[in-house]
Amino acid sequence: MSAPSITVVGSVNLDLVASAEKLPAPGETVTGASFTQHPGGKGANQALAARRLGADVAMIARTGEGPNRDAALALLKEDGIDLSGIVSDPDQQTGVALIAVDAAGENQIVVASGANGDLSPGDVKVPGRPDAILCQLEVPAACVMAASRTPCGLFAVNLAPAGPVPVSLLETADLLIVNEGEAEFYGDGIHRGPGMVALTLGGQGAVLYRAGKEIARAPAFTVPVIDTTGAGDTFCAALVLALCEGLEEGDALRFASAASALAVTKPGAQPSLPWRDEVDAFLKAQD
């Protein structure tokens, strides 16, 4: 079977990560942290995760120019993702995420969107007819709507970060992916269409719905938690890939849960994204 083709329309950021014993309370300064820099952004994370799990991936995004762009795209380029759809904007900065991570792997994130916010529907030029298009909400909703009008096998949207979107997007997407907070924000609106909804529940696993009815459930896997950044993005990419490969819904959900579990066992968003052989070996060990 040939590798599924997935086009990701989304954000590209450079993650600036401070790891400390605890996260600061409002107005508090926490010292003694260590600092690292990684490529990130929900779109780029999901694109790289899909590539490492076995898909042929094209990325559509907008960045600034200069060293931050180079650093933000480094791993995408290294792993062979098609970057021809990424627009370089000399008038904007590449997006930056300021991330604080505590000793338990929990995080706080503030994003300066930069060029991500200037991605336009005209930039959304999807190559060919991919097996899937995967979007998030760190770029303008108009770009997601433009992607939704492009022929593909599966149109998926990770509704993160939660924000207003056209009702038609909720009703027509083949797959919506939300966590508990996002599900609360959108309410029953995510179940109005005939497509599927994947709900992640942290330590309680994940559930898949169709037209408001549960069709599959997968438990969470117990692993040592180092950094949860990127776990949700890994889940999204893995679920889309598994469905494109024709896995039954329950098996696809379990595959996505396993991939996201492995992502929390290493620091950094993109450096932690697992490879396909790692996920397959992990699942085999659980049987």
Read off the pLDDT of each residue in 63-83 and give the average, rounded to a whole number: 96
- Angle formed at CA 121 by CA 170 and CA 142, multiple of 5 degrees: 30
Is 233 marked active-site?
Answer: yes
Domains of the chain, start order: 5-23+34-286 (3.40.1190.20)
Helix axis angle, 231-244 relative to 249-263, nearest 10°? 150
- Angle formed at CA 38 by CA 100 and CA 65, multiple of 5 degrees: 115
| Nearest partner of 10 among 38, 39, 46, 37, judged by Cα | 46
| Nearest partner of 273 among 106, 75, 131, judged by Cα | 75
Candidates 91, 123, 233, 277; catalytic one: 233
| Nearest partner of 78 among 103, 99, 110, 47, judged by Cα | 47
- Work out the pLDDT band at 147, boundaries 50, 70, 90: very high
What's the whole-model pTM score?
Answer: 0.92
- State the amino acid at position 72 in one-letter form: A
Q: Report d(CA 199, CA 209) in Å as an integer.
A: 8
Q: Report d(CA 224, CA 245) in Å as an integer.
A: 29
pLDDT of 150-183, one tens digit each?
Answer: 999 999 999 999 999 999 999 999 999 999 999 9
Kindly report the length of the chain.
287
What mean pLDDT value characterizes the chain?
95
- For the record, the structure tokens of 38 come out as 């990684």
> Phi and psi at residue 263, in whole multiples of 5°?
-65, -25
- Work out the pLDDT band at 1, boundaries 50, 70, 90: low
